[in-house]
Structure 1
Amino acid sequence: MKKKFPSSQLIINEDGTIFHLHIKPENVADKIILVGDPGRVALVASHFDNVECNISSREFNTITGTYKGKRITVVSTGIGCDNVDIVVNELDALVNIDFETREEKDTFRQLELVRIGTCGGLQPHTPVGTFVCSQKSIGFDGLLNFYAGRDEACDLEFEQAFLKHMGWTGNMCAPAPYVIDANAELIERIGKDDMVRGVTIACGGFYGPQGRELRIPLRDPNQNSKIEAFKYNNMQITNFEMESSALAGLSKLLGHKAMTVCMVIANRLKEEANTGYKNTIDTLIKTVLDRF
């Protein structure tokens, strides 16, 4: 018997669009680029040969078009793993649930999702301007812990080593991080040999969770130095951002291919930052479009 999704689980607007994104199934391409900034959607789409649709709802902007014969959708997620939970689940529903019958479709449609973002570098070999492919992501957000299949999808040995290193084992007030791999084929295709293969921490916030201290003192002032010193099977944590773990985790559970590639705009060790990155991230966008 097919699984049926009631209106409380799958909310469809009166115009036939899905609840948050406000787009219809026919608006979604198999290749999808995700960006955090709604304004960056237009920058990605400026390279398209033509545009089919341009739809905005809240922080979610969607443009579908064609780039060198490839049909591509670009969607803004806003900031954080909670928004990625909305975007990935709704994109999957649009292509794998029949909106007329509210039943799962007989044929599964696999999506390829690449997030293009910015991040903070944590190692000497990730200076400002570096392109980092998140080969593994450590989710400080806890999102994947609410889904069945989480343990089977994650690297549990890596998780335990990281928890022990941070001193979080058995600490109920500490995060419950999960470690998830991006899709290996996408990493090879997009990252090639000119991007750093990284281990990325996806944080649940921009300030305290990333070790920034303004007027509220940090619970663990040594958190970042411990993160920078962590090593596991010759891997080090390369960068901070806020979405890669949810994207890789949800996509893996749903059967889609996903990865994140970011440009480093600040490096903690070198104490450098580039606030004019918007003029140079277009290089990363064009690189991803050509390799997608």
Structure 2
Amino acid sequence: MTSKRLYHLGFGRDDLGTVPPTIALLSGDPERSHFIAKTYLQGDRLLSANRGLNSYIGNLANGRSLLAATSGMGAPSLSIVVNELVQLGIRQIIRIGTCGSIQDYVPAGSIVISQAALCRQGAANDIAPVEYPAAADPFLTVALVQAARELGVEYHLGITASVDTFYEGQERVDSANPHLMRSLQGITAEYRRLNILNYEMESGTLFKMAGVYNFAAACICTVVAQRTSSEEILLKQQEDSGGNAIAVAIRVIENLA
């Protein structure tokens, strides 16, 4: 572990206290990290808001130290944050995000727990070869499933398509660029036939980093778009059910303790 203040995170080992956390909840949105800190952490403290990568430290009710960190949007930003978190001694990371369903039976408002990712991300290729598996930690993944069952949260377990772009990469045409490359036309239907559940933008790189760096990673996402019917983001579902994914992840950490 390093005591120096890391360039992107804006804090170092000396800022983490005498019993530093070894587990982090990682969110793309800094507001989600803030919500976790203010809702679940006792004695929460802002470590840094450097570059919008807001990070908080505090204790759960059982006394376990926890880091609520922000990855930013997309795999390149996440790869920087995760590298620096591991330098500081973090050994377990649960990503809490949002996603778009590509299966009829995975409705908006439910959560997807990723057991592995189809990884179509340039950042991941700098970590490991294309054929290197992007797999979640099986123990954290099973723990997420068990926590969802305990809390009565609708969940779906399966494979995630983790891609670099929100629009073209997820076959969206309602954007500034309605002209998709031929390689992306029909990609969603192809993924659906491969039994892939959802689109998101970070888990594949996170999982590959976990394998190479030797830490445990898992991913849980709230479904905020039902891509079998529309490209629209359903903000009400995000607001109403986004807390479920957080609650499930917190229950996992409580059970681990």
**TM-score by structure 2 length?**
0.85
| Aligned residue in 1 for 2:110 | 130
> Per-residue deviation at 1:22?
0.6
* In 1, Cα distance between equivalents of 2:26 and 2:86: 14
* In 2, Cα distance between equivalents of 1:17 and 1:273: 37
From 185, 190, 193, give the equivalent of 1:226.
Answer: 190
Q: Deviations over 1:164-222 (max 9, x none)?
A: xxxxxxxxxxxxxxxx1100000011122642112111111110000001342011322
Is the contact between residue 202 and residue 242 of structure 1 (CA under 8 Å) also seen in structure 2? yes
| Aligned residue in 2 for 1:115 | 95
Once superposed, what is the RMSD of the aligned Cα atoms?
A: 2.0
> Per-residue deviation at 1:150?
6.6
| Aligned residue in 2 for 1:241 | 200
| Aligned residue in 2 for 1:201 | 161
Answer yes or no: is 1:90 the counterpart of 2:84.
yes
Gaps of 5+ in 1: 1-11, 96-109, 155-179, 231-235
Q: Deviations over 1:254-288 (max 9, x none)?
A: 11000110010111113364212134312221221
> Per-residue deviation at 1:39?
1.3
* In 2, Cα distance between equivalents of 1:269 and 1:135: 22
| Aligned residue in 2 for 1:274 | 234
Is the contact between residue 127 and residue 270 of structure 1 (CA under 8 Å) also seen in structure 2? no
* In 2, Cα distance between equivalents of 1:228 and 1:238: 7
> Per-residue deviation at 1:242?
0.4
| Aligned residue in 2 for 1:35 | 27
| Aligned residue in 2 for 1:101 | none
From 23, 26, 51, give the equivalent of 1:58.
Answer: 51
From 41, 44, 50, give the equivalent of 1:48.
Answer: 41
Structure 1 residues 122 and 150, CA gap change in structure 2 (3 angstroms): closer
**What is the identity, as a one-letter code, of the residue corresponding to 1:224?**
T
Q: Deviations over 1:72-98 (max 9, x none)?
A: 101011100001110111111223xxx
**What is the identity, as a one-letter code, of the residue corresponding to 1:141?**
Q
In our comparison, the structure showing a higher alpha carbon Rg is 1
* In 2, Cα distance between equivalents of 1:50 and 1:150: 42
From 1, 5, 12, give the equivalent of 1:24.
Answer: 12
| Aligned residue in 1 for 2:245 | 284
Is the contact between residue 59 and residue 77 of structure 1 (CA under 8 Å) also seen in structure 2? no
| Aligned residue in 1 for 2:69 | 75
Is the contact between residue 132 and residue 262 of structure 1 (CA under 8 Å) also seen in structure 2? yes
Structure 1 residues 121 and 52, CA gap change in structure 2 (3 angstroms): same
Larger mean Cα displacement after TM superposition, 67-76 or 264-273? 264-273
| Aligned residue in 2 for 1:106 | none
Aligned residues: 234
Structure 1 residues 274 and 150, CA gap change in structure 2 (3 angstroms): closer
From 152, 170, 182, give the equivalent of 1:210.
Answer: 170
Aligned-pair identity in percent equals 25
Is the contact between residue 128 and residue 273 of structure 1 (CA under 8 Å) also seen in structure 2? no
**What is the identity, as a one-letter code, of the residue corresponding to 1:280?**
S
**What is the identity, as a one-letter code, of the residue corresponding to 2:41?**
F
Is the contact between residue 62 and residue 74 of structure 1 (CA under 8 Å) also seen in structure 2? yes
Gaps of 5+ in 2: 150-154
Larger mean Cα displacement after TM superposition, 260-269 or 42-51? 42-51
| Aligned residue in 1 for 2:152 | none
